[in-house]
Amino acid sequence: MSDQLSLEQKIAQKMMIDVRYFCQESKPMSSSDNSPVPCRSAVTRLPDELHTLIKDTSLGGVILFAENLQTVEQIIDLTQQLQDAALQSAAARPLFISIDQEGGRVFRTPRAITTGFAGNMAIGATYARHGVDYAGEVGAVLAKELSVLGINTNHAPVIDVNSNPDNPVINVRSFGEQPQMVAELSVAMLKQMQQAGVMATLKHFPGHGDTHLDSHLALPVVNHPRHLIERVDLAPFQWAIDYSKPAMIMTAHIQYPALDDSRVSSRDGESLIRPATMSRVILTDLLRHQMNFEGLVITDALDMAAISHYFEPTEAVIETFAAGADIALMPYPIRTVDDIAALKAMIADIAAAVRQGRIDESELDQSLARITRLKQSFLADSKVVADRSHLYQQAKAVLAQPSHRYLEQRLANESVTLVQAKTGVLPLQSSQVEHVHLIAATELQAAMLQQEFQHHWPALANGEVRWTQSVFSDWQQVEAEQLSAQADWVIHAGWQRLASLVDIGGMADQASQQRPAISYDDAMKASELALGAARAQQRQIFLLGFGTPYELEPLLPLSDVAIVAYHHGIHRDADSERLAGPTYRAVVAALFNQSPFHGDLPVQLSMPHCDLCIDDSLSQQGAL
């Protein structure tokens, strides 16, 4: 079949676009000041123009975002429409329909109808007691729920070793800071995903764990020496390649001069160290040949600033294909009819680059053969049906079923980690307490915590105990200090730094991203003043972290109890309309001695320099 495809169709098979938004207008609308207004019309049903694009070009894949995903029936209809377009193409091959469904912070399907979990670092917190059990169970559930919706490719798990506490984009998306633990948990999750029929993607090669910049916004550099890269960053990838069969590995838009210090010219003529995504030394010589990876190399999104700021879209794709990437993820944003023509022109320009020898045509055919083999292995049963009622019923029987929700809560319970506690403070003794003051990040978080405290504390539920709160979205410093000094208990529910763009979607969200009313640094200063006022009056202070553990560290000296739960997700229960937040439920239950503190910190808050490496004896034994 590959011999029957044109060069342009072969190139299209190597592209994975997003269909997040699409507007019928050929050009973006203008605002009152005549500036362009980006298209924000979510694609929940495949427009005819995109159906035709997929069919005419033989496009190889798409990636879906939260805006594409609303209800069970709608999601299945959309994935069926996408496959219908692909199977009508000259290639007649099903699409990779992909998603970033990591669990925890990065989760695209609606939490009210699917199971979201507490995320990778929460799983890492269970490793000492439960080994890889939760990684495997969570991987299986994520895959089963995606599969019944028609989504066949998951860009997870994150296999980065988070060795930098200031990492803005990975942190709790990582299992932790020990490569051996990260390796074992990643392989367990990957194996279960793929056994459930969903292709998994290890990311971000050769490692995004020690960066202080977000590659959505800048081009990071990792200056580790080669030996440290091999023992920390590369070690989990090598372990996964040796002891499993990863369908895909995603590249990182990061410079690694110890691996490849060759240079490339940017669109402005600037000489740059090649990012890994464009490095043949890294993608072909290292990953493909030295590490013996046989699956597909997919780029991270090429619209991220680490690439798009420095390279024109077509040039970026040419460079990464020449480096050895099999799939270009989000090579060009398709938002209007004009963008469809631009993508076709890009494909034609890349074909010209092949004919000119910039991309080796025999390597392109080898890449296409890898894509074809993987689709035959995982997608052979892909079909389109007219009557989808049985698909809807099957999905509803699987999604967020009681056993999945139970696993979600069980992981939250088992991962709750007691960082510090003064003698005699726990479990909570509430009989003499008359006033509780909460410091929360948002009104929703405050409501979630109040609901859970009332569940365990009848006097609070009955109004016999005063509950006050200060929320960073509407911060009043003087009032926060006064109430903290008056209360018997002060509960600080943590602060989440401004989310990385990957948490909420991608580069399309940059202009519209909601900024908090108070910055992280200002929030920490405000918290220190409020908690200091409470400490001066000898009030008991409880520090609850619902995000990265590193954010607890500045406030630890002021607290009597410090707990971390790794995830701040809250949604409304589809049936009861009550707020649901498994980590909040777990933390409050542990405070009242209804469940134990079983979690172990998978990172060091002090982050001393240490030799982080996979245990050579285990590696030699092939233990897993």
| Amino acid (1-letter code) at residue 572 | R
For 411, the token pair is 């992981």
Provide the pLDDT for residue 503: 59
Answer for the pair 28, 38: CB distance below 8 angstroms, yes or no: yes
What local confidence, expressed as pLDDT, does residue 620 receive?
Answer: 31
Instruction: Give the list of residues 6+ apart from residue 173 with CB closer than 8 angstroms, or none.
Output: 102, 104, 105, 106, 119, 120, 121, 158, 160, 162
Q: Can you tell me the distance from the alpha carbon of 367 to that of 373, in angstroms, rounded to the nearest whole number?
A: 10
**β-strand 248-251 against 263-265: which pairing, if any?**
unpaired
Question: 391 and 397 in contact (C-beta within 8 Å)?
Answer: no
What are the residue ranges spanned by the domains of the chain? Answer: 44-398, 417-591
Residues of the chain with confidence (pLDDT) below 70: 1-3, 26-35, 212-216, 495-517, 606-624
CA dist 333 and 18 (Å) reads: 7
β-bridge mates for residue 369, sequence order = none
pLDDT at 605: 86
From 4, 175, 147, select the one nearest 76 (Cα to Cα).
147
Dist CA 425 CA 541 (whole Å): 10
Neighbours of 432 (CB within 10 A): 6
CATH class of 417-591: alpha beta
Q: Are 6 and 344 in contact (CB under 8 A)?
A: no
The fold of the 44-398 domain, in CATH, is TIM Barrel (3.20.20)
The C-alpha atoms of residue 610 and residue 163 are separated, in whole angstroms, by 10
DSSP 437-457: EEEESSHHHHHHHHHHHHHH-
pLDDT score at 614: 39
pLDDT at position 102, please?
96
How high is the pLDDT of residue 369? 97
pLDDT of residue 619: 30
- Looking at the annotation, which residues are catalytic? 300
How high is the pLDDT of residue 375?
Answer: 97
Hunting for tokens 């007649």 — which residue is that?
92
- d(Cα 556, Cα 468) in Å, to the nearest integer? 22
Buried b / exposed e along 148-157 (16+ C-beta atoms within 10 A): bbbbbbbbbb
* pLDDT score at 29: 57
Read off the pLDDT of residues 202-230 as tens digits, 9 standing for 90 and up.
999 999 887 766 666 778 899 999 999 99
First-to-last C-alpha distance (Å) of the chain:
39
**What is the amino acid identity at position 294?**
E
Cα atoms in the 13 Å half-sphere on the side-chain side of 439 = 33
Picking from 622, 214, 118, 200, the residue whose alpha carbon sits closest to that of residue 416 is: 118
571 token code pair: 């949604």
User: Nearest CA to 546 among 254, 172, 265?
Assistant: 172
Tell me the per-residue pLDDT of 334-345, one tens digit each, with 9 for 90 and over: 999 999 999 999
Sort strands 153-154 and 96-99 into parallel, antiparallel or unpaired: parallel
Q: What DSSP line would sit under 248-282, residue for residue?
A: EEEE---B-TTT---EEE-TTS-EEEPBGGG-HII
pTM of the model: 0.93
Do 417-591 and 44-398 fall under one CATH topology? no
- Note whether 462 and 432 are within 8 A (CB): no
DSSP string, 137-175: HHHHHHHHHHHTTT--EE---B------TT-SSSGGGSS
Question: Rounded distance, CA 193 to CA 153, Å?
Answer: 10
